Chains A and B, each alone.
Chain A
Amino acid sequence: MSETTLLSARGVSLSFGAIQALVGVDADLWPGEVLAIVGESGSGKTTLLNVLSGRAAPGTGAVWYRTPDGQLLDVHTMPAPALRRLHRSDWGFVHQDPRQNLRMGVTAGGNVGERLMAQGSRHYGHIRDAARDWLVQTEIDPKRIDDLPRTFSGGMLQRLQIARTLVTHPRLVFMDEPTGGLDVSVQARLLDLIRSLVARFGIAVVLVTHDIAVARLLAHRTMVMQGGRVVETGLTDQVLDDPQHAYTQLLVSSVLNA
């Protein structure tokens, strides 16, 4: 078990005018760990994800990332090109809407290969082989490699986004409601795919979801947010089966059992 965190946040606060989006949030993520951030709309979970990944700057507080060679980088003071490089190599980001990440005018294979090229790969044959391999890993028929994403279903687009994200073997992936807006059957397939890929490659994940069943299936630890604050955090099954905070009890008791 590693004693050093991959990502740490301390005292992160952020206000939008009079609205306190984040209030004194601390968070830690260890290598290979899946951390879920749950809470209702407006609780600050997506804002926190954006601050953790350097996409939004906090008002106060800091976020550090530890590189593979042990260097600590302050995510919000590092030069912008270095942060972009991090997003292209060590990190990945999976959006709820895959269109935010995919280039709709580029073929499926091109979408996956592009991230490898951004990392410096130049050999066309290798790039195409890697793209085909990742289409297969994400259960997309490799015959579709030269098709445009606009001909794909919603579930396929989400899987293509995951292929594009994982092709560079990131150590840390941020996911914002990756199964939101999908049919239940499509959602189950995607969850199982994420679960097995994350375990196989030992990827650390910060996962934002409003669906506590998703947290239970994927996350080792869960943080519960309400009004920009972390009200409870711990082992996922402990937080969900023995919730201590009034808001977590409400969240857990509000779920319908199918």
Chain B
Amino acid sequence: MNNAMLRTEGLCKAFMLHLQGGVRIPVLSQIDLDLHAGECVALVGPSGAGKSTLMRSLYGNYRADVGRILIRHGGSMVDLATADPRVIIAVRRQTMGYVSQFLRVVPRVSALDIVAEAAMARMHTLATARGAAAALLTRLNIPARLHALPPATFSGGEQQRVNLARGFIGGHPILLLDEPTAALDPANRAVVVALIREAKARGIAIVGIFHDAEIRDAVADRLFAVTPWQDAA
């Protein structure tokens, strides 16, 4: 247990909605999750149970109310629940990648550079990063003629694949995948399954939400049940 890449201890998260008269919506209660190098843990539970909330909390995008989120970062464990914003930025750059459900498009930046930018933390020249980005985009069936275009005009599936390339190219030791195959056709789903298996073989630790049971069975080593808050107590 001491060699976990990621571990949560008693993680709780509620949303306080000030604009709705201060309604408090509890979502996560006492989450204890362990994640080790080279394994893929799939979060499962009914819609609304808090799977995405847990994922966003693990990434430091949502703030934990109670508990710890320990990440193995540069040889020591840092607690994202209390870490300085600058530490969270460093963790995201070096240690933990995240593939969201939707690509956030930046005006004027080409698909190639969106992916290459994510590779720059690990590769030393822009040329190397762009070479690797082009190869991965091509593997995800984004044809070369699209690489120089900003993805704003791409289809949902194409944007998702740019997002996946951006997530996988960083080589982060921990990878969070939120519905990575939702918008993809079978051929591209197979590419994603292969990418996940290769990442695991390289020792990368993965937490994922996969609604597609076939994909989940193909990549997950373990399931982690996220239960709706009412049932948890």
| A interface residue numbers (CB < 8 A to B) | 1, 30, 33, 188-189, 191-192, 195, 217, 220-221, 234-235, 237-238, 241-242, 244-246, 249-250, 253
Contact = CB atoms under 8 A, between A and B. Distances in A.
B63 A188 contact: no
Contacts of A221: 85
Interface in B40-92: 56, 60-63, 85-90
A196 to B, nearest CB: 9
Given A217-B106, A246-B19, 14 more contacts: A1-B87, A189-B107, A220-B89, A234-B63, A238-B61, A238-B63, A238-B88, A241-B56, A242-B15, A246-B18, A249-B17, A249-B19, A250-B18, A250-B19
A195 B90 CA distance: 18
Contacts of A238: 60-63, 85, 88
B86 A1 contact: yes
A242 B63 contact: yes
Contact of A244 (B16, B86, B109): B16
B107 A191 contact: yes
B-side binding surface: helix, strand, loop or mixed? mixed
A-B pairs with lowest CB-CB distance, top 5? A246-B18, A188-B107, A235-B85, A242-B62, A192-B108
Interface string B9-50: 000000111110000000000000000000000000000000
Contacts of B107: 188-189, 191-192
13 contacts: A1-B90, A30-B86, A191-B107, A192-B109, A220-B85, A234-B63, A238-B60, A241-B62, A242-B15, A244-B63, A246-B19, A249-B18, A253-B19
Interface residues of B, number: 20
B90 to A, nearest CB: 6
A219 to B, nearest CB: 10
B41 to A, nearest CB: 23
A246 B89 CA distance: 25
A195 to B, nearest CB: 8
Nearest to B107: A188
Contacts of A33: 86
Most central of B19, B62, B85, B86 by chain A CB within 10 Å:
B85
Contacts of A191: 107
B109 A242 contact: no
A9 B186 CA distance: 55
Contacts of B19: 246, 249-250, 253
A121 B86 CA distance: 37
Most central of B17, B60, B63, B88 by chain A CB within 10 Å:
B63
Interface in B87-120: 87-90, 106-109
Nearest to A242: B62
A235 B93 CA distance: 14
Most central of B18, B62, B109 by chain A CB within 10 Å:
B18
Contacts of A253: 19
Nearest to B152: A188
Contacts of B89: 220, 235
B106 A192 contact: yes
A36 B61 CA distance: 17
Contacts of B106: 192, 195, 217
Nearest to A192: B108
B233 to A, nearest CB: 23
Nearest to B59: A237
A128 B60 CA distance: 47
A217 B15 CA distance: 25
B88 A235 contact: yes
A83 to B, nearest CB: 28
Most central of A192, A220, A221, A242 by chain B CB within 10 Å:
A242
Nearest to A252: B19
A31 B63 CA distance: 25
A1 B86 CA distance: 8
